[in-house]
Amino acid sequence: MMLPKKGDPIIIQNITGKYGRFHAKLMLDYGTNIAAGATPGKGGQTVEGVPVFNKVAEAVENTGAKASVLFVPAEFAYGAGEEAILAGIKLLVVITEHIPVRDTLRLIQLANTNGASIIGPNCPGLIVPSARVKMGIMPVTSFAPGNVALFSRSGTLMYEIAGQLTKGGFGQSVALGIGGDPVTGTTTSECLDFVEGLEDTRAVVVVGEIGGDAEERLAAHISKSGRRKPVVAYIAGRHAPKEKKLGHAGAIIYGNYGTAESKIRALSAAGVGVAMTPMEVPSLVANALR
């Protein structure tokens, strides 16, 4: 995975839709170089001064973009992702919710064979405050430049915890939404490997929730790799009922699989400081950096 740098050209797929249009403006306002949009049949239009092309390949040819944000409806998301990858896009941020899991798996397979990375689906995107790069839908007021990397399965909880961190004096080197689906293009373990090599990152905050075993795998990964950057976690859903999908497609407990207890136990055993509430996160980060 390569994070976009300040001024890197970025395209938005389905920039002509309601959400694409709205968020294109907010990304531009933040300072992100939204260089082009792509929507089939809408080539020649402009949105917020940004030229729109019919095909991603044309947008890439005209701008040199290597990164794309997708606001494409779930039914068409696989096709749009495939088009982007085949046009040479190397970083796809998939905001779309409700993509069938088999479509996500196929897209991940295609990305792997073409050396592309997928963030999401069903995620708020990513933000690099120091570079004023935003590929996503997060409210920028919660974020500030700094040395904490923040990775979250949940959107609003990421904003809330970013806000708490910022208020506590801990800005973010990068904040990235993993996504709330059962299968995501990038895992928290991969994110952790990525920031291990980032000089401006001194600590990592991981926001998890019930469902699946991403946090257990993260714990095993931390134990195995013996890394040095401290990790703080918060896991939502300690009081969640079983066998109920709670808002996110991936937030569901089956039997003893996917419980918050299991995740907290695994992370604690791996030496991760686990906050019991979002409000506790900044003080755990402060402890970890002391």
Q: Is 248 among the residues known to form the active site?
A: yes
Amino acid, single-letter form, for residue 274 = V
CB 201 within 8 A of CB 174: yes
- The SS3 call for residue 131 is helix
Structure tokens at 277: 């509430």
Query: Which residues on adjacent β-strands are paired with residue 234?
Result: 207, 275
Please identify which residue in 42, 66, 90, 106 interacts with another protein, judged by CB under 8 A. 106
Would you count residue 50 as binding another protein (CB under 8 A)?
A: no
Task: Give Cα separations from 213 to 53, 71, 202, 234, 266 (angstroms).
Answer: 40, 27, 26, 15, 10
Contact region with another protein (CB under 8 A), list: 38-46, 195-203, 237-245, 266-274: 237-245
In the bound complex, what is the minimum distance in angstroms from residue 121's beta carbon to another protein?
10
Is the Cβ–Cβ distance between 175 and 157 less than 8 Å?
A: no
In the complex with another protein, the residue whose CB is nearer, 65 or 127, is: 127
Query: In the set 55, 57, 278, 283, which binds another protein (CB under 8 A)?
Result: 278
Q: Are strands 133-136 and 34-38 parallel, antiparallel or unpaired?
A: unpaired
Q: Does 172 bind another protein (CB under 8 A)?
A: no
Could you tell me if 252 and 258 are in contact, meaning their C-beta atoms sit under 8 angstroms apart? yes
Is the CB of 174 or the CB of 235 nearer to another protein?
A: 235
Q: Which range touches another protein (CB under 8 A), out of 8-16, 48-56, 61-69, 136-144?
A: 136-144
Unique residue bearing structure tokens 């300690």: 238
Contact predicate 151/191, CB 8 Å: yes
Residue choice 247, 261, 271, 289 for contact with another protein (CB under 8 A): 247
10 binds another protein per the rule CB under 8 A: no
Helix (H, G, I), strand (E, B) or coil at 166: helix
- Binding window for another protein (CB under 8 A); candidates: 43-51, 157-165, 195-203, 225-233: 157-165
| Binding window for another protein (CB under 8 A); candidates: 7-15, 28-36, 57-65, 210-218 | 210-218
Q: Return the percent helix, strand and coil in the chain, to nearest 5.
A: 40, 25, 40
Q: Which residues are catalytic?
A: 248
Rule CB under 8 A: which residues touch another protein?
19, 74-75, 98-102, 105-106, 108-109, 124, 137-139, 141-142, 152-160, 163, 180, 182-183, 207, 209-214, 216-217, 234, 236-241, 243-251, 255-257, 260, 276-279
